[in-house]
Structure 1
Amino acid sequence: MGYAVTADLDLTFAALADPTRRAILARLMEGEASVAELAEPFAMSQPAISKHLKVLERAGLISRGRDAQRRPARIEGEALAEATGWLERYRAVWDANFKRLDGLLSQLQAGPRPGDSQN
């Protein structure tokens, strides 16, 4: 994995670490929205929401357009797809570990087999 990909993932995961930014992304899954629309459910100012949007935009998770005076934000999928791909590789490792543990648990629950020595 190259340095650029790692830096992109760092930005993505740093942006996703904040619950407000995750909530903003969840709202944007419904469609584009202005800063004012995004600020409605939060007890914070529009400038504070704008700062969150800048972090999301820098990470490539959203883009901002221009519609007269309005600058609607919209979700972008590429950065999330890269993070999902990275996580999927680790999920495969954990799935294999869980299958091995399931096998061991089954053996332990079955108890000793006839002929096994019991020291």
Structure 2
Amino acid sequence: RILVHCNMGISRAPTIVIAFLMSHHQHTYQDALVYVKSKRSIISPRLSFLFALEALEHELQKKGTSNGKIGLQMYEAEHPRSPNATDSCNNHNLHIQERPSWAMKMEG
């Protein structure tokens, strides 16, 4: 189990979970949104976050990622990790970038 939270759990945290489901579990944007909403009915990601999720879906479709591992490998190849990034999480080879490009688009 993983806990993802922001101040209210309405916009930022659900957006990250939706993006994770899309990039690592092959959910479409709409399916991931419906799934997360079924678990926490009060979610309401900001419009700019929804646009970023749609852009992520198009990028994933364009690259033809068949699973999250391939998507992660492609992402890491295109976005070298910062020296300040965390290396792993409990030997699961989970690489975390400080601020992925799609997250920076959400902030704009």
- TM-score interval w.r.t. the shorter chain? 0.3 to 0.5
Q: TM-score, normalised by structure 1?
A: 0.32
Decide which structure has greater strand share: 1
Decide which structure has greater helix share: 1
> Radius of gyration: which is bigger?
1
